Structure 1
Amino acid sequence: MKTATEARSGKGHRDENFPVASHLIHPRHRGPILDFYYFVRAGDDVADNAGLSPERKIALLDGLADALTGKGPDDPEAAPLRRSLAERGLPPRHALELLDAFRMDAHKSRYETWDELAHYCRYSAVPVGRFVLDVHGEDPGRTWPTSDAICTALQVINHLQDCGKDFRSVDRVYLPRETLEKHGARIEDLGAERATPALRAVIKDLAQRCLDLLEEGRPLPDLIDDTRLAMEIAAIHRLAVLLARGLLVRDPLSETVHHGKAAFALTALGAAATALARRPFRRHLHPALRGARP
């Protein structure tokens, strides 16, 4: 009977599609963010483990939650984050919400509507951005709405890139049924080596929704007080736009959507530099910032 540690996939923060606590983040904040990432990674690996029953997945996820909150025995996957939260005086809310998303994954493999998928993203992606902002002491009222839009887009972009793999490996489909039916696509199309024209239309439809969300989130770097975090978010946002645009013209079943590491690094660097250049003018661009830290 596997533990959460035994269910580990071996995937780390450098294997993700988007930067996780890059060196743009100040060293004093990187530790808590990485502790959060590896706790969440442990829960995600449990939810994705094909050798575990849904009931065992739920039990392991409950154990992680209890270890994090102190209601149950210690767990090596939870201990670092628990210490970081205590040191910062932060609640476990965001990590617990992500465990709720993994509980959904344990039992749910299909989504009917865009709103249903967005609800899943509220628990599977939105808490990540909110945690990073909280670690930096940012104003939730000013930053959470745009962060939520970006995080939702990032999650759906990941789903679109991995749609074939998710279907084949764990029989999980995040493409909403209503969007598949709208374009005359079938779930079984995800098992092919190449996307059908109907499935390509579905992917384009959802990629455009992601671009709309990213446009909604575009002001976030200017709204953040911490300059290094603003640069990190600007880089992630630019990379997300690049990937969403790639999904408009590439087939994730048969083509690589993302560019090479060098091209991604150059794109991220350019976005970070642009965000830095905008810092002196952000109060003029966003009147709500007139009382913010320099």
Structure 2
Amino acid sequence: MSAGFQTATDARTGKGQHDENFPVASHLIHPRNRGAILAFYNYVRAGDDVADHTGLSPERKIELLDALADALTGKGGSDPSVEPLKRELAAHGLPPTHALELLDAFRMDARKNRYADWDELIHYCRYSAMPVGRFVLDVHREDPARVWKTSDAICAALQILNHLQDCGKDFRNLDRVYIPLDVMAKHGADPSMLARDKATPELLAVIRELAQRTLDLLEEGKPLPGLIDDLRLSLEIAAIHRLAVVLTRGLLTRDPLSEKVHHGKAGFALTALGGIAATLVRRPFRPRAATSGAGR
């Protein structure tokens, strides 16, 4: 079955930015930066679809991911998922570092389906999530020394939140368990419980402990909107952060195997607006960086 996949684009599932749990380059982002973020997303989506494809062997997944990297760096042939990002990187004067790091995460997914402890999971997030935030900040010319640390915390939290929300689906469809095995053992749970229609008390205890750790990461990242010079990006991140806090708190009381954790459109919008409003109220009192980009 995998022999028919010549490029990563052949493995695309059709999933796009509107199918994600959080906004991807919403209209809060200035038009001059949206193209770069969407091109980055589509490149990452191509790699993610390869890593999650059930019809590809691990070895073929690695080959396709390597080809994506080579197409981006100019070492190999072209791919339709790559050319827009190459153009945007050139236009913004940015290296391909963050995109290449995400491919490292997808290589991990091709080879690895269990995580021993929290540190292993955070290491995965370093490559699967943190480069996304760093890229968006770099596109906006924000100061890495000022913003990367809090961005990394938020991005790791978003990744782990998605893992918790999708824990049953990941196990059933991909035999992949991102929940640390030592936390499962601590509460008397095991991965086979993820196949059930309803979480056991032991598994709920695991999910709630990890949800609390995720809330701690979100608290660590809370200052980020106030550290960003670009107002529109600040509001985008504030909305995402507020949504993540609400959804993660939901996991303290809900069962992701049997209950819906995601917001409906109305609840999503109201929660996001709450984050935006809170940031706008605080905005006049934040000190601006010494060097901020023109037109911000």
Q: Who is 2:155 aligned against?
A: 151
User: CA offset at residue 277 of structure 1?
Assistant: 2.1
Residue identity over aligned pairs, in percent, reads 72
CA–CA distance in 2 between the matches of 1:46 and 1:109?
15
Q: 1:140 aligns with which of 144, 160, 183?
A: 144
Output the aligned Cα RMSD. Answer: 1.0
CA–CA distance in 1 between the matches of 2:274 and 2:200?
35
Q: 1:267 aligns with which of 258, 267, 271?
A: 271
Whether the 8 Å contact between 2:229 and 2:289 is mirrored in structure 1 is: no
Whether the 8 Å contact between 1:21 and 1:33 is mirrored in structure 2 is: yes
CA deviations on 1:143-166 (whole Å, 9 max, x unpaired) are: 000000000000000000000000
For 1:201, the aligned partner's letter is A
CA deviations on 1:251-277 (whole Å, 9 max, x unpaired) are: 000000122111111110121122122
**How many residues of Structure 1 are paired with residues of Structure 2 in the alignment?**
289
Residues 1:290 and 1:10: Cα distance change in structure 2 (over 3 Å): closer
Whether the 8 Å contact between 1:235 and 1:267 is mirrored in structure 2 is: yes
Whether the 8 Å contact between 1:235 and 1:269 is mirrored in structure 2 is: yes
CA–CA distance in 2 between the matches of 1:111 and 1:243?
23
CA deviations on 1:160-217 (whole Å, 9 max, x unpaired) are: 0000000000000000000000111011000000000000000000000000000000
Q: Structure 1 regions of 5+ residues with no counterpart?
A: 284-288
Whether the 8 Å contact between 1:225 and 1:292 is mirrored in structure 2 is: no
User: CA offset at residue 250 of structure 1?
Assistant: 0.4
For 2:290, the aligned partner's letter is G
Q: Who is 1:210 aligned against?
A: 214
CA–CA distance in 2 between the matches of 1:43 and 1:109?
17
User: CA offset at residue 279 of structure 1?
Assistant: 1.3
Q: Who is 1:101 aligned against?
A: 105
Matches within 5 A, 1:1-294: 1=3, 2=5, 3-283=7-287, 289=288, 291=290, 293=292
CA–CA distance in 2 between the matches of 1:131 and 1:154?
16
Whether the 8 Å contact between 2:172 and 2:195 is mirrored in structure 1 is: yes
CA–CA distance in 2 between the matches of 1:16 and 1:276?
25
CA deviations on 1:213-266 (whole Å, 9 max, x unpaired) are: 000000000000000000000000000000100010000000001221111111
For 1:255, the aligned partner's letter is E
User: CA offset at residue 290 of structure 1?
Assistant: 5.8
TM-score by length of 1: 0.97
User: CA offset at residue 291 of structure 1?
Assistant: 3.0
CA–CA distance in 2 between the matches of 1:103 and 1:15?
23
For 2:210, the aligned partner's letter is L
Whether the 8 Å contact between 1:246 and 1:258 is mirrored in structure 2 is: no
Q: Structure 2 regions of 5+ residues with no counterpart?
A: none
CA–CA distance in 2 between the matches of 1:155 and 1:234?
17
CA–CA distance in 2 between the matches of 1:151 and 1:50?
26
Q: Secondary structure at the match of 1:19?
A: coil
CA–CA distance in 2 between the matches of 1:57 and 1:232?
33
CA–CA distance in 2 between the matches of 1:221 and 1:167?
35
CA–CA distance in 2 between the matches of 1:5 and 1:126?
24
CA deviations on 1:8-27 (whole Å, 9 max, x unpaired) are: 11110010001110000001
TM-score by length of 2: 0.96
Q: Secondary structure at the match of 1:194?
A: coil
Whether the 8 Å contact between 2:130 and 2:155 is mirrored in structure 1 is: yes
The 4+ residue runs of structure 1 with deviation greater than 2 A are 289-294
